Chains A and B, each alone.
Chain A
Amino acid sequence: MTATTRRHSSLDWGRVWTVARTDLQQLAQARDFWLPMTLLGSFFFVFIPAILLLTITRIGDVQVVDQVADTLAVLPASAQEQIRGDSPEGRTGYALAVFLFAPVAVIVPLTISTAVGAATIVGERERGTGEFLAHSPAAAREIYLGKLLASLLPGYGTVVVGFGLYSILVNLTVGPEVGGWFFPTQQWWVMILWVLPPFLAICLSLVLRLSARVSSTAAAQQASGLISLPLIMVAYSQSTGALFGAGILPVVIGGVAWVLAAFSLTRGVRSVTRSRLLGVGRNM
Chain B
Amino acid sequence: MPQTQVPTSVTEDGTTTVAELRSVSKRFGDVPALEKFDLVIPKARITVLLGPNGAGKTTAIRLVTGALSPTEGTISVFGTTPDGPDGENVRRRCGVVSAKPSLYDRLSGYDNLRYAAELYGLGPKTAADLRIREAAAQFGIDDALGQEVGGYSTGMKTRLALARAVLHEPELLLLDEPTSGLDPESALAVLAMVREMTATGRTVLMCTHLLAEAEGLADEVVVIQRGTTLVSGNPTDLAHYYWPQPEVTITTSEPGRLADVAALPGVRRVDSVDGGVRLELDAVSRTPEIVRALASSGVPIDSVVPYRPSLEDLYLAVRRDLGSQQDEDGVRPMPTGGQLTTSPPTLVDATVGR
Contacts and interface: CB of A to CB of B under 8 A. Distances in A.
A275 B68 contact: yes
A122 interface: no
A186 interface: no
B85 interface: yes
B96 A7 contact: no
Contacts of A131: 67, 96, 98, 100, 102
A189 interface: no
Contacts of B81: 1, 4
Contact of A129 (B28, B65, B102, B120): B102
Interface string B8-34: 000000000000000000001100000
B102 A136 contact: no
Interface in A1-44: 1-2, 4-7, 9, 14-15, 18-19, 22, 25-26, 29-30
Given A127-B104, A128-B102, A280 B68 contact: yes
A9 B92 CA distance: 15
B120 A4 contact: no
B342 interface: no
A139 interface: yes
B28 A135 contact: no
Interface in A21-72: 22, 25-26, 29-30
Contact of B111 (A1, A25, A278): A25
B267 interface: no
B331 interface: no
B84 A139 contact: no
A242 B84 CA distance: 47
A29 B88 CA distance: 31
A132 B69 contact: no
A130 B106 CA distance: 15
Given A275-B68, A282-B29, A129 B84 contact: no
Given A25-B111, A129-B104, A281-B28, A4 B118 contact: no
B179 to A, nearest CB: 17
B121 A137 contact: yes
A135 B88 contact: no
Contacts of B85: 5-7, 9
A1 B70 contact: yes
A22 B29 contact: no
Given A7-B85, A128-B98, A131-B98, A137 B92 contact: yes
Interface in B57-109: 62, 65-75, 81, 83-85, 88-89, 91-92, 94, 96, 98, 100-107
Interface in A218-238: none
A281 B88 CA distance: 22
A263 to B, nearest CB: 26
A132 B102 contact: yes
B71 A2 contact: yes
B191 interface: no
Interface of B: 28-29, 62, 65-75, 81, 83-85, 88-89, 91-92, 94, 96, 98, 100-107, 111, 115-116, 118-121, 148, 164, 174
Closest 5 pairs between A and B when the two form their complex, measured CB to CB: A7-B85, A132-B102, A134-B67, A128-B100, A18-B118
22 contacts: A1-B74, A1-B83, A2-B70, A2-B72, A14-B118, A15-B118, A19-B119, A22-B111, A29-B107, A30-B106, A129-B103, A131-B96, A132-B164, A135-B65, A136-B116, A137-B89, A137-B120, A277-B67, A280-B28, A280-B68, A281-B29, A282-B29
